[in-house]
Amino acid sequence: MNNIIQVKNLAKSYNTLHGEIEVLKKINIDVKEGSFTSIVGSSGCGKSTLLNIIASLDKQDDGQIITKGKIKIGYMFQDDALLSYLTVYENAILGLKLSNNLSQENTNYVNHLLKEYGLDNFKNKYPNELSGGMKQKVACILSRQKKDQVNGL
Ligand SMILES: Nc1ncnc2c1ncn2[C@@H]1O[C@H](COP(=O)(O)OP(=O)(O)OP(=O)(O)O)[C@@H](O)[C@H]1O
Ligand SMILES: [Mg+2]
């Protein structure tokens, strides 16, 4: 009851040059609304595969992801996925730019987030000048670029 996300009997395999790898098999998870849920497991056990499917970035072979209505999912990738030739600020507004949402309100919000994450003095730096954690913060800002996208995973 009151689940915001339900994973039901999820299965996923990858076809590789060395044959098929079965990564997820009959995975069932209930995520309660308002809860923090951690997916824990050894390297290569399928955590990113599972999250990619929940975020609709990949497709399962079998099973279902059931959400409570139409939810918005914010997802920070394991790799920060920043573009090395853009500054922190340019990376942070990239999503807005590509989706034609570069309004004053939205860029003000990005600036607010950069301040909140302690990156105000790093706006003009390039990713290779940042620590790993700072890069992840920029990636996180990318996924929070609109106020109504704050909720999610
Ligand atoms: N695109 C792909 N093609 C083929 N095999 C893949 C692909 N992506 C992942 N795998 C394989 O699937 C398995 C699960 O990978 P996944 O990235 O989901 O693991 P993980 O639990 O996130 O690991 P880590 O903790 O190291 O991040 C691994 O054996 C990996 O080699
Ligand atoms: Mg992973």
- Confidence band of 151 (pLDDT split at 50, 70, 90): very low
- Whether the full predicted model's pTM is greater than 0.85, yes or no, is no
Confidence at residue 22, expressed as pLDDT on a 0 to 100 scale: 97
Q: May I ask the CATH class of domain 3-67?
A: alpha beta
Confidence at residue 107, expressed as pLDDT on a 0 to 100 scale: 92
Tell me, in angstroms, the distance from the centre of ligand 2 to residue 50's CA. Answer: 9
Mean pLDDT of all residues in 5-27 = 96
Tell me, in angstroms, the distance from the centre of ligand 1 to residue 65's CA. Answer: 19
Domain boundaries, the chain: 3-67, 88-149
The 10 Å Cβ neighbour count of residue 145 is 22
Tell me, in angstroms, the distance from the centre of ligand 1 to residue 43's CA. Answer: 8
Q: Which ligand is nearest to the CA of 21?
A: 1
**DSSP class of 127:** G
Q: What is the pLDDT of residues 56-107, one digit of tens each?
A: 989 999 999 999 998 888 878 788 789 999 999 999 999 888 888 889 999 9
